[in-house]
Structure 1
């Protein structure tokens, strides 16, 4: 019996100075999800420079000199912390969520708690 799994990518936007997560979207690794992340941002961040790893999907959303490739150390550190603290993201065993909505809720709760800890 084969199991069909759908890959879910967690798209995050972090304020470089405060290190708070200011935007999040969960979906595929494509232009639609990049736009979903862009839509999740507060308006004050829409003209900020975006440091990315150079994925082509960002080019359709972040225009011109606003897209800077590199400088993603802080968000990569957060990703490592997220994987360490949320067991659902590490293995598909007992902690795995069968419903995507449960996983999304768990991630949002972690992000809100993380942001609150930075006060």
Structure 2
């Protein structure tokens, strides 16, 4: 019997992915599966998934915890990462003397030969991430990092390591190349460690790596926004 119009004039119309037969009503044209086990993922579960994406847990682990299908979760995450903004938002005018620290974090996509570097800039006072770019380790990527900074942060002192790309991009009057022993890049080094501890795709010797560059970039930016949002609450 058709669940829409209660008609008994039905014909078989193929099957769904799990082999169950699909029927079509000849009266109203409605297609359906008898005793379908398909369920709708609640908004509460989606919110839980959104929070779990900010923790060190693989997508397979999230699927097991939330008891959603792997295929649905993959589609949901892919769409969420694709919609994630690729720009840092700075609300209001930062207070005090502005100083930033910059560094690049090694990662890979699909295999370790495909190296991808995460370029980050952090506000020393607020600890918020104020610049980010995902690419290679060339001067071009350093330019992209500098361009991602809000204009107010392009006018302040910037501490980096001695990687030559920084020297050709950051204005000499603002650039300070220092060694780790000075402690002037401690905040950005600690941030790198936080990324590796919290983003499963970046954990060393892990199977939770990205297979597609777009998803990798989206996951990094999703964590950047989540990290800044956590700091805004404190």
TM-score normalised per structure 1: 0.91
Q: After alignment, is 96-105 or 85-94 more displaced?
A: 85-94
Where does the alignment leave 5 or more consecutive residues of structure 1 unmatched?
Answer: none
Q: Whose strand fraction is larger, Structure 1's or Structure 2's?
A: 2
Alignment partner, residue 58 of structure 2: none
| Root-mean-square deviation over aligned CA pairs | 1.5
2:193 & 2:203 partners in 1: Cα distance?
11
1:109 & 1:115 partners in 2: Cα distance?
10
1:91 & 1:72 partners in 2: Cα distance?
22
2:186 & 2:204 partners in 1: Cα distance?
24
Alignment partner, residue 104 of structure 1: 217
Displacement after TM superposition at 1:64 (Å) = 1.5
2:112 & 2:197 partners in 1: Cα distance?
25
Poorly superposed stretches of 4+, deviation over 4 Å:
none
Structure number with greater Rg is 2
Q: After alignment, is 77-86 or 64-73 more displaced?
A: 64-73
Q: 1:93 to 1:15 in 2, by over 3 A?
A: closer
For residues 5-64 of structure 1, the C-alpha deviation after alignment (integer angstroms, 9 at most, x for no partner) is 321010001111111001100111110000000110111111111100011001111122
| Pairing 1:89–2:197 present | no
Alignment partner, residue 21 of structure 1: 129
2:143 to 28, 35, 40: 35
Question: Matched residue pairs, number?
Answer: 117
Q: Whose helix fraction is larger, Structure 1's or Structure 2's?
A: 1
Displacement after TM superposition at 1:4 (Å) = 7.5
